[in-house]
Structure 1
Amino acid sequence: MNPSTETTADAFITGDLSRPLGRPLTIAILGAGARGTAFADLVAERPEVARVTAVAEPRERFRGDLAAKHHIAPEFRFTHWRDLLARPRLADIALIAVQDAEHAAAATALAGIGYQILLEKPMATNEADCEAIAEAARRNGITLAVCHVMRYTPYTVKLKQLLREGAIGDIVSLQHLEPIGNYHFAHSYVRGNWRREDESSPLLLSKSCHDIDWMADIVGQRVARVSSFGSLTHFRPEAAPEGASDRCVTCLLQDSCAYSATTLYRDGLRDGRADDGGAKRYMTRVVTGGELTEQAVADALTDGPYGRCVYRSDNDVPDHQVVNLEFENGVTAGFTLTAFTPLENRHTKIFGSHGQLTGDGRRIEIYDFRTEQRTLHDTAVDGPSAAEGHGGGDRALLNAYLDALHGGRPELIVSGIEATLASHRVVFAAEHARRTGGVVEL
C-alpha cells in the first residue's frame, strides 16, 4: 500500500474507534533496531489488518534492510523521525522504538499531527515527560498504548483468570523476581545503550518498569507507599581480577572470565537456531549491526563499546535492586531485580488467604490449603527473552493494538495512557526512595 495514493491525510484513522476500518492500517516504524524490526515482522504476518509503509532510522543499513523486507517506497524512507514533522501525516500509526531519551519529543510531536501511537517502554525517562506525553495524547484525541508486553502474555491472562476465580482466595502479598541474566546484563547495562543513567534512564525504569506495571495490574489496586534499595556492586574497577585488561580481545583471562565479550559474541555466531532466535545470536546482531561473521565480531570487539572489560566500562546503573510496595488495600509486594542469575524467566509467588500461586512466566502452580493438592497449568508459547518474543507478549500486544484500531475494539488495549502513567509514577517514586533512603507516599 502506498499511503500517498491510497490514503489521504484526512482519511487516516482518528481516535474514534467506534466502528471497524474497511482497509489495512498503515504503520510508520520509527527506529529500525531490534524492537522496531521485531514489531515490523509481526505486522507483516497480518497484511489484511496492517502494513508497514514508512520507516525512519539514522543507520543506513538498518533502514535499508527493513525497507527492503517490507517493500517500503524510497520516498517513505527517512533518516530521522523528525523528518516526518515536515510532511503531512503519512500513516495511521507511529510505532515509536527510538532511544528512550527521544520518546517524549517523538510522541508529543507526532500526537500533535494526529498519529495513533504505539510506544516502546519506558514511556519517557522522567515523570514530567511522561505527563507531557499523556497530555498530548488526551489533547489530540489519539489512541496511545505503551509496550508493556507482560500484561498481554497468555501466562498473565491465565494467571489473572485463576485469581478472579478465587484459586488462592484473596491476595495478601506477592514476591516477584526479575533474573536479568549475567551476560544479558553485561551486554545491555554494562557495555550497551542502557549502561548510564545520563544517556538513558535508571535501571528500574529501562528494564523493570514492566515488572512494576505487571505487579500493579495483578493486584488491581493503587500503590500507596514505596521504598527501594540498590547499588552498583560488582561491575566496578576494584572488582576486576588481577591481570584483566581494558578490552577482552587483549585480555589473558578472556577464555575464563564469566563476562568475556569474546566468548559471548562468538557463541552468538555459533548459535545454531534460526536467525531470529537465540539470545546470544540476537545480541551479536546488535554488536555487529546485523553482520554475523567472525570478522565483524572481531572488528566490533576491537573498536566498539561491546568489547570493553565489564570492570573498566563507564557504566553507573545498579546491578541489583529491591523495591517494596504497599497497596491501598494493604497488600504488600517485594520486587527484586538482579544481574547475577542465568538468563531465565521471571519468578513469582502470590500468597493468598486460601492458597499459594507460583509462576515462572510459563507454568502456574496452585497450592490449595484445604486439600493440600497442587494443580499445574502450562501456558507454553515463546521463550522469555526479547529474541524469543517475550513469552508471546510481543505478538499479543501488537495484535491487541491492531485489532482495537482496525476492529473498533478499544477495550483490547490494557496498557493505555492512564495505567502506564500510574505505574511509571511508582517507578519514579521508587528511584527517589532509593536515592534518599526514605519511604515515598503516592
Structure 2
Amino acid sequence: MVPVDTTGPAVAVVGAGLRGATYARRVLAAGRGRVVAVAEPDPVRRARFAAEHRIPPERVFPGWRELVAAGDAQGAGRLADGVIIATQDAEHAEPAVRLAGQGYHILLEKPMATTEADAERVVAAVERAGTMLAVCHVLRYTPYTRAIRRLVEDGRIGTPISVQHLEPVGWWHHAHSYVRGNWRREDESGPMLMTKSVHDIDWIVHVMGELPSRVGSFGRLSHLRPENRPAGAADRCLNCAIEPGCAYSAKRLYLSCLGDPGREAWPLGAVTHDLTEEGVLTALREGPYGRCVYACDNDVVDHQVVNMEFPSGATGTFTVTAFTPYAQRQTRIFGSAGCVEGDGVRISLRDFVTGELETVDTGSDHESPDGRHDAADEALADAFVEALATGDPAPLSSNGRQSLDSHRVVWAAERARHAGAVVDITPPDGFAAPPPHSPAKGTGIR
C-alpha cells in the first residue's frame, strides 16, 4: 500500500462509487495528497473505501449532510482542503452549494447539476466563497485531446470550417446505464445528452475554441421500447426463452464479467457486490439489471444528433447512438488548409498544400473496461491536487463558468429537440466571440 501523505492537501470524498473511488485512488497512489473523509450511503462501498484509505471511523459518514454537520460541530467549517463530489446526478447541486459555503475547493462529477438553475446556484456559491470548482470534463485531459487541439491552434488545418463528432456508446453499455441503470429516466437524472454527452459538447467547445451561437437537435427513443419487444420475450432475462439469441442478454453480459477485475469493477460492480455466479444470478433475478430491455421504464433517447453554428461561421454536428460497438469517440475537423481525423488514439492530418498525410499516434488508449478514461481520470485528479497544493487553478483545464457555458449548450439543444426549432445561445457576459471565419486560436476558451 502507498504510504499516506500526512503533509499534502487533504481531500474528502462524497460518493464512493466507481468515479469517486477512481479519483481517490489516484490521490493516494500519486502520493501528493491524502484522503481523510468519506460520505457514502452504501455500507459495503463505505466500509471498503474507508479501509483502503485508512480513514478513522469519526470521518466516515453515511451521507454528505453528516459530513457537513461534522465540520460545523468541530468548528472547523471543513474537514479537508478539497472535496470530490461523485454522487448520483440529482445529488450534485445541494452538496456542492453547502460544501462551497464551508470553504471547500470542489472537484464535481459531470453533469454539474440536473437543471440550469441548480448549475447556476453551484457557480454562484463557489464564487461567493472564493473557492475553486472543476467539473470532471475528463476528455480535456487526454494526450489525444491535447494533440488535436494543438494542431487546430497552430493553424495546421487553416481556419476550422466544420467538425463532425461521434460518440459510439455501445449497445450493451447503453442497455446497462440508460435502459436498466441509473440514467434511464429524465425525471431521475436528466436527458442522455446531458448525463452522457456533456463530455462531448464541452470537448467540441474546447477544441474549436468557441461556443456555438445556434443549435438544433433531433433524437428519440426509437428501439428499446415495449412495442419492439420480440415475440416470446419474458420480463426478465433469466426466464426468457429467446435470451440466448438476444443482443441485450443481461445473463450473458454480467456472467462474462466474472474473473475480469476491470469488468467486475464496472459494469458488474453496479449490479452486485457478490462477485460469484450465484450472486450475479440473484441480482439479475431480483434487481433492475435483470430486466428485459424492452420491458423497462426508460425514457431517455437511444440516439440523438446536435447541429451547431459557431460565431465564426464554422458548423458542427454531434451524434450519440446506442447502436454501435463499445468504442472510442471519433472526430473529423475540416479546415481551409487541411483536415484531421481521429479515433481517440491516432490522428491523421491531410495537408491540402502538399497533399501529404501525417499520422500522429498520441499513445492514448480506449476507455478502460473499469470506466477510466485513458488515464485522464488520473490526470484530472493530479491537476486538482496540484491546484489545492498551490492555491493556483492553472492546472485545471476549465472553471465553473466555462463548465456552465458547456452545460447551457446542452440545455439549449434539448429545448431545440423538444420544440423542433433552432435555438439561439446568448454569449456569456465578457465572452469575446471571434470574427467570422477566423482561426479558433486566441478566443479566450481554455
Partner SS, residue 271 of structure 2: helix
Partner of 1:351: 334
Residues 282-431 of structure 1 aligned to structure 2 (within 5 Å): 282-289=266-273, 291-385=274-368, 387=370, 389-431=372-414
Match of 1:205 among 187, 190, 194: 194
2:111 matched to 1:122? yes
Taking the aligned partners of 2:178 and 2:359, their CA distance within structure 1 comes to: 35
Taking the aligned partners of 2:33 and 2:47, their CA distance within structure 1 comes to: 20
Partner of 2:229: 240
Residue identity in the other structure for 2:272: T
Match of 2:14 among 16, 25, 30: 30
Taking the aligned partners of 1:56 and 1:319, their CA distance within structure 2 comes to: 33
Taking the aligned partners of 1:364 and 1:151, their CA distance within structure 2 comes to: 16
CA contact (8 A) 2:142 2:364 kept: no
CA contact (8 A) 1:349 1:358 kept: yes
Taking the aligned partners of 2:48 and 2:407, their CA distance within structure 1 comes to: 34
Partner SS, residue 394 of structure 2: helix
**Residue 386 (structure 1) shift:** 6.5
Partner of 2:3: none
Residue identity in the other structure for 2:413: A
Question: What whole-Å deviation, never above 9, does each CA across 1:248-284 have from its counterpart, x for those lacking one?
Answer: 000011111000000000111143xxx2x24x76111
Identify if the C-alpha distance between structure 1 residues 24 and 386 changes in structure 2 by more than 3 Å, giving closer, same or farther.
farther
Greater Cα offset, 382-391 or 65-74:
382-391
Partner SS, residue 125 of structure 1: coil
**Residue 385 (structure 1) shift:** 4.3
Greater Cα offset, 367-376 or 317-326:
367-376
Residue identity in the other structure for 1:232: L
CA contact (8 A) 1:154 1:392 kept: no
CA contact (8 A) 1:108 1:132 kept: yes
Give the TM-score normalised by structure 1: 0.92
Give the TM-score normalised by structure 2: 0.91
**Residue 415 (structure 1) shift:** 2.1
Residue identity in the other structure for 1:345: Q
Taking the aligned partners of 1:173 and 1:386, their CA distance within structure 2 comes to: 32
Taking the aligned partners of 2:372 and 2:136, their CA distance within structure 1 comes to: 12
Residue identity in the other structure for 1:25: P
Identify if the C-alpha distance between structure 1 residues 202 and 386 changes in structure 2 by more than 3 Å, giving closer, same or farther.
farther
Unaligned regions of 5+ residues in structure 1, if any?
1-5, 7-22
Taking the aligned partners of 1:382 and 1:68, their CA distance within structure 2 comes to: 31
Greater Cα offset, 207-216 or 365-374:
365-374
Question: What whole-Å deviation, never above 9, does each CA across 1:94-144 have from its counterpart, x for those lacking one?
Answer: 100001001110100110111110000001001000100000000010111
**Residue 392 (structure 1) shift:** 2.1
Residue identity in the other structure for 1:33: G
Partner SS, residue 226 of structure 1: strand
Taking the aligned partners of 1:386 and 1:423, their CA distance within structure 2 comes to: 27
Question: What whole-Å deviation, never above 9, does each CA across 1:379-434 have from its counterpart, x for those lacking one?
Answer: 12343246252122111111112112213442111121111010001000000000
CA contact (8 A) 2:344 2:364 kept: no
**Percent of paired sites with the same residue:** 52
Partner SS, residue 267 of structure 2: helix
Taking the aligned partners of 1:106 and 1:220, their CA distance within structure 2 comes to: 31
Partner SS, residue 163 of structure 1: helix
Greater Cα offset, 330-339 or 79-88:
79-88
**Residue 329 (structure 1) shift:** 0.8
CA contact (8 A) 2:238 2:290 kept: yes
Residues 75-154 of structure 1 aligned to structure 2 (within 5 Å): 75-88=58-71, 89-154=78-143
Taking the aligned partners of 2:401 and 2:108, their CA distance within structure 1 comes to: 14
Partner SS, residue 365 of structure 1: strand
Partner of 2:33: 50
Residue identity in the other structure for 1:367: R
CA contact (8 A) 2:18 2:265 kept: no
Number of residue pairs matched?
414
CA contact (8 A) 1:355 1:368 kept: yes
2:244 matched to 1:258? no
Partner SS, residue 84 of structure 1: helix
Partner of 1:160: 149
Residue identity in the other structure for 2:196: K
Residues 65-84 of structure 1 aligned to structure 2 (within 5 Å): 65-84=48-67
Partner of 2:217: 228
Partner of 2:167: 178
